[in-house]
Amino acid sequence: MRICVVALGKIGLPLAVQFASKGHQVIGADVDERVVRAVNEGVEPFPGETDLDVRLKENVLAGRLTATTATREAVARSEAVVVVVPLFVDEDGVPDFGWMDSATKEIAAGLRPGTLVSYETTLPVGTTRERWAPMLEEGSGLRAGTDFSLVFSPERVFTGRVFADLRRYPKLVGGIDAASGRRGVEFYEAVLDFDRRGDLARENGVWNLGSAEASELAKLAETTYRDVNIGLANQFARYADRMGVDVLKVIEACNSQPFSHIHQPGIAVGGHCIPIYPQMYLWNDPDATVVRAARTANREMPAYAVGLLEGAFGELDGVDVLVLGAAYRGGVKETAFSGVFGVVDALRERGARPYVSDPLYGAEELAELGLPAWDGEREVVAAIVQADHAEYRTLGAADLSGLQVLVDGRRVTDPTRWEGVRRVVIGG
């Protein structure tokens, strides 16, 4: 097949490489000339994705993968188009379709009869049928479901391990009509391989959910479940703090029974998915009180962690505090909705002078994010661990001279290394 992947980001580029690895001819379309140039040179434009550097170069050298900024021309030369353009929401959960609208209009301008269009970007329920289908029809003069096939098939992978996750998890597909759904199944069966999973009720592979709406809801539901579960764990942790109980021991005990799957509490829920998709769900279903309460509980955790610091240290006005970790999770150079911003804001509200350090970010990069970088020399008397970087496992009191209190928001530090420092954990 000739396949066009629109948007060569941290999901789109690995997808393009995966499709090319199966022997298909892939054109990656992106508006960023730097990304296009890097891909055509066989160089990964962003670090951290397992095996991407090797597999990208291999497929570019073999002539199976190229990149371009000319989206409509790439679409016109393709039999299938996979769209992975970002969709953003504001703080109130209202989607901003600007980038996706622009990409969809470009796709429509190059769309030919017989093409399959698959949206993988997580969407509010109903978007594929009610927004993309009319837009594609208007721009192409073709009819969705008759002249071209249209499906929604959500990405379900984790950055850093995309290739492994593509094999591990069933690929969900839902079409705007039965024929589109069948075409979507055929496409993904031709571009993906799947691990055998004895734990599933049905065979691992491409699962047709019967409609675009069911597929859209499946992605929102599975991610919203995680946010709600973490919100519950965080409320358990806050109660455990009041009662002097170690919540992790409680959770371990609960999860020894097969009907309990309590997640881990922590200082923040960040990234492009878990903080965002529940808000997208709430945009569809504003009366979902459980979802709203969980989102509120998780949003409060950075300020709660600063409150723990204040309770252990005392008044923070004028105090230099080090925040360890700008990334939203350990080992990933990404700050999307990271808890670092809430922690820094909460520290400033209490009059503290916050500084930020992260092994993945230099001082200039932190400054560009609006974060005050720590120079490694200024003495700090208090610190908060915000990201669970592996480097923090071996961090100790000897590394931070003068430190009096450490709040470990991720329980990543080794308590034996902090002799002479008051170490506080969430839910401990």
pLDDT band at 122 (very low <50, low <70, confident <90, very high): very high
Give residue-wise pLDDT tens across range 7-40.
Answer: 999 999 999 999 999 999 999 999 999 999 999 9
| Percent of the chain with pLDDT strictly greater than 70 | 100
pLDDT band at 223 (very low <50, low <70, confident <90, very high): very high
Q: Which of 43, 4, 9 is nearest to 27 (CA)?
A: 4
Maximal C-alpha separation, the chain:
72
pLDDT of residue 247: 98
In sequence order, what DSSP letters do the residues of 246-312 get, joined into one string? Answer: -HHHHHHHHTTSTT-------S---SSSTTTHHHHHHHH-TT-HHHHHHHHHHHTHHHHHHHHHHHH
Class at the top of the CATH hierarchy for domain 2-210 = alpha beta
Exposed/middle/buried for 230, CB within 10 Å: 0-12, 13-18, 19+?
buried
Computed over every residue of the chain, the mean pLDDT equals 96
Rounded Cα distance, 335 and 369, in Å? 9
Beta bridge partners of 173: 208
The interaxial angle of helices 52-61 and 33-40, nearest 10 deg, is: 70
pLDDT band at 308 (very low <50, low <70, confident <90, very high): very high
Average pLDDT of the residues in 84-109? 91
Give residue-wise pLDDT tens across range 148-188.
Answer: 999 999 999 988 899 999 999 999 999 999 999 999 999 99
Q: Which of 377, 373, 376, 378 is nearest to 362 (CA)?
A: 373
Rg (CA), the chain: 23
Average pLDDT of the residues in 377-391? 96
pLDDT at 234 over 90: yes
pLDDT of residue 89: 79
**Domain range list for the chain:** 2-210, 217-428
Give residue-wise pLDDT tens across range 54-94.
Answer: 999 999 999 999 999 999 999 999 999 999 999 987 767 78
The domain covering 217-428 belongs, at the CATH homologous superfamily level, to NAD(P)-binding Rossmann-like Domain (3.40.50.720)
Q: Tokens in use for 266?
A: 């922590």
Give residue-wise pLDDT tens across range 309-319.
Answer: 999 999 999 99
pLDDT of residue 47: 84
pLDDT of residue 305: 98
Give residue-wise pLDDT tens across range 271-283.
Answer: 888 999 999 999 9
Answer left, alpha or beta for residue 74, where phi above 0 means left and psi between -120 and 50 means alpha.
alpha
pLDDT band at 296 (very low <50, low <70, confident <90, very high): very high
Q: What phi, psi does 231 have (nearest 5°)? A: -60, -40
pTM: 0.91
Answer left, alpha or beta for residue 153, where phi above 0 means left and psi between -120 and 50 means alpha.
beta
Give residue-wise pLDDT tens across range 410-425.
Answer: 999 999 999 999 999 9
| Count of other CB atoms within 10 angstroms of residue 418 | 18
Q: Tokens in use for 401?
A: 């001279």
pLDDT of residue 129: 98
**CA 11 to each of CA 103, 138, 142, 154, 160: distance values in angstroms, whole numbers, following the listed order:** 16, 28, 29, 11, 10
- Asked if domains 2-210 and 217-428 share a fold, the reply is yes
Coil, strand or helix at 172: strand
